[in-house]
Chain A
Amino acid sequence: MLDPWIDTYAERTHGLTVSAVRALFSVANRPEVVSLAGGMPNIADLPREAIGEAMASLIRERGTQAMQYGSGQGEPFMRERITEVMAEEAISAHPDDIVVSCGSQQALDLVTRVFCDPGDVILAEAPSYVGAIGTFRAYQVQIVHVAMDEFGIIPEALREAMAACKAAGRRVKFLYTIPNFQNPTGVTQTLQRRRELIEIAHETDLLIVEDNPYGLLTIEGEPTPALRSMEDERVIYLGSFSKTFAPGFRVGWALAPHGVREKLTLAQESATLAPPVFSQFAISTYLDTFDWRGQIQVYRDMYRDRRDAMLRGLTENMPQGSTWTHPTGGFFVWLTLPEGLDSQSMLPRAVSARVAYVPGTAFYADGMGSRNMRLSFCFPTPERIIEGTRRLGEVLRDELDTLHTFGIGTGEHLYRDITSGPAPDIT
């Protein structure tokens, strides 16, 4: 009676429900709240006047092309420029092997669409990017998490997962991994681990989907070579301008072996006819006329200040028993709470205290992660980040106090067994 189509929806929509956790986030956008929840890049310092001028002349001079339909694979000039961007990470690629997408999120959707039937298995780090889990679920894929530590995916765990799936007669379609400054943990795979991953891929006939939105945002130490720079037959590489320039244009890409690229192009044509043409013109204009490498350096310095504020704030404010990761780039820190605390059930308390985070359970397909939370340092200023960690510290102490009152947290687990959690736990 309220929704006459309720019996008509496809089975894959059944997981699409509103939730109390999602609802709590609606408060996070209010200025009173320090949101350590969002993954929004800070683009306030882009040279907007000058970009505006460049866009105006783009429309004046090339508007009839820029506002027209375009190529399903993406505009040739855009794909050329994308190869230059990837060269920054030592990836050598041909523009023909690139498919432009509506953000790298859509590239992931296309890859899943062309590879996965319902019931297929995708391997992903434990934990993994919540948006990827959502996409995989929409294709009714089974997600099998592979344990990771502070050096990235554990090779032995990957071998075991492959063997277990094989023994169960399940087809693993690919491994989805974010090797740099992983979302949500901030962990970076070491070079050694990357080599081992590729080795296992060869051994077990495994395809790797390398999602690398933060790759150019190294804020400490030297960048690690991309998997795709070491292996081109077994790696589909996903890239994006969302973090190195701005996300509103929705331009990302997939770099894939030629057979896959053909399929992705056809899938892209049926999905969108062509990825956003105006956005590709706009981004090319930006790359042509602005010092984009300099801008990335500006971003790095800004995010380094914010990361430092986050780490300092956590050191000052987290109660004993908390541990967190030390990201060398990207946007996120992964916090592991003292035993007994549950990040999801604590969220309303945090919202009342005007601080927001993403509960760790969002990043697992199997209900793990209740003892973790993702904290992002990309959007609030360093001062606000410090204030956010101060509020969060109070929330944790109040919650611990309540748990203590009710005799919870002294080895007795309230919600579910969280000790077997494979989440990284790094001091």
Chain B
Amino acid sequence: MSSDLGTIVVLAGGLSHERDVSLRSGRRVAQALRDRGHHVVESDVNASLADLLTSTDDPVVFPVLHGGDGEDGSLRQVLDLFGVPYVGSTGPASRRAFDKSIATALLDVPTPEQVALPNSVFRELGAKALVEAVTERLGLPLMVKPSRSGSALGCTKVTSTAGLPGAMVAAYAYGEMAVLERFIEGTEVAVSVVDVGDGPRALPAVEIRPRSGVYDYTARYTAGETRFICPAELSDEVAAGCAEIALRVHEQLGLRDLSRTDIVVGADGPVFIETNVSPGMTETSLLPLGAEAEGEDFGELCVALVRQAYRRGPSDLKE
């Protein structure tokens, strides 16, 4: 074994709503690293993690956790505490990116008009007036999402005022905070950004065409339910605009190593929708597709990311 990278700990699973996706992503990353001769340990996030990190010889972590602790930065802060190097963004940067209400507000790129409201506000102020104000201000159709969740879980497109309360309830099932934003009609694309030591670069945009018309959970993770076109059928100018947005998001939020930004190309050009510090790595996920379109081997990319993290060593607690 050419284990010049110590022991790679692939962390997947966790207790979030996206556990299943994370386990699939984790298996794929672990296998790709093993196929290239590296020593890989796969682990869930549970009470034995601390023991694993302290007892493992020369560990470097590849977190492939989606949602919850994996993406909100808390797990990454734990890794910092243990002084273990890891692939991807720091805890504070992850926290900024994960919460849709925070990320959108921080960015200097085109974003949809958005309001972020906790459940308690509706409870205390009364829903009726707020719901009316929201639809009046943002217009219809609207997207309603939990502010801290992924894989389109809890997301609803609302086309009438009557549909809004139900959508709010669905979003609040995933957490206390929901974001409501103007729905941007257009082409859905995802642009992944990777940085393996030579600066961030955008992979080709992947265009998403779900058969059902809606890129929901089923469309995301059932092979064949969505057509992915890569590179996306965009003019050079628009494609460059998408890449530019993804790179700026990566930079403005202080992200590291890898990210994936979801964009809708609407009538007025590309608009930022959300970004992910722990992009999906399944067979139907967008970052691996982007890498493939670039002619880049997925396994080699994983190795390069780990190598970079290994060389960098542990992060400071403060960024």
B217 interface neighbour in A20, A27, A399, A407, Cβ under 8 Å:
A20
Nearest CB in chain A: distance from B288 CB, A = 10
For B221, list chain A residues within 8 Å (CB): 18, 23
Q: How long is the Cα–Cα vector from A399 to B172 in the complex, in angstroms?
A: 9
CB-defined contacts of B225 to chain A, threshold 8 Å? 17
- Is the CB of B284 closer than 8 A to any CB of chain A? yes
Which single residue of chain A is at the shortest CB-CB distance from B45? A30
B228 touches A18 (CB 8 A): no
The contact of A406 among B46, B165, B222, by CB within 8 Å, is B165
Whether A18 contacts B169 by the Cβ 8 Å rule is: no
- Give the bracket for the number of chain B residues in contact with chain A: 35 or more
The answer to whether A399 touches B173, judged by C-beta atoms less than 8 angstroms apart, is: yes
User: Chain A residues near B131 (CB, 8 Å)?
Assistant: 406
A27, B19: Cβ atoms under 8 Å?
Answer: yes
Report yes or no: A346 in contact with B166, Cβ–Cβ below 8 A: no
Q: Compute how far the CA of A26 lies from the CA of B119 in the bound complex, rounded to whole angstroms.
A: 27
Q: Is the CB of A345 within 8 A of B165?
A: no
Of A1-9, A42-50, A97-105, A162-170, the one contacting chain B is A1-9
Provide the residues of chain A in CB contact with B227, threshold 8 Å: 1
Complexed CA–CA distance, A19 and B228 (Å): 19
Are A26 and B20 neighbours in the complex by a CB distance under 8 Å?
Answer: yes
Q: Are B15 and A407 closer than 8 Å at their CB atoms?
A: no
Cross-chain contact B173 with A407 (CB below 8 angstroms): no
Residues of B within 8 A of A399 (CB): 169, 173
| Contact pick for A6, options B46, B174, B224, CB 8 Å | B224
Of the candidates B122, B128, B165, B222, the one whose C-beta lies within 8 Å of that of A17 is B222
Distance from A406 Cβ to chain B, minimum over Cβ atoms (Å): 4
> Once the chains are docked, how many angstroms separate the CA of A345 from the CA of B155?
11
A23, A347, A408 pick with most chain B CB within 10 angstroms: A23
Is A3 within 8 A of B166, CB to CB? no
Residue of B17, B168, B172 near A24 (CB, 8 A) is B17
Leading 9 A-B pairs by shortest Cβ distance: A6-B224, A406-B165, A3-B223, A26-B20, A20-B217, A23-B20, A17-B222, A349-B173, A3-B224
- Known pairs A399-B169, A406-B131. 13 more at Cβ < 8 A? A6-B223, A18-B217, A20-B216, A20-B217, A26-B23, A30-B46, A345-B173, A347-B173, A349-B174, A352-B174, A354-B15, A403-B169, A408-B165
**A residues in contact (CB < 8 Å) with B:** 1-3, 6, 17-20, 22-24, 26-27, 30, 32-33, 345-349, 351-352, 354, 399, 401-403, 405-408, 414-415
Q: Which residues of B contact A (CB under 8 A)?
A: 15-21, 23, 46, 119, 122-123, 127-128, 131, 151, 153-154, 165-166, 168-170, 172-175, 216-218, 221-225, 227-228, 283-284, 289
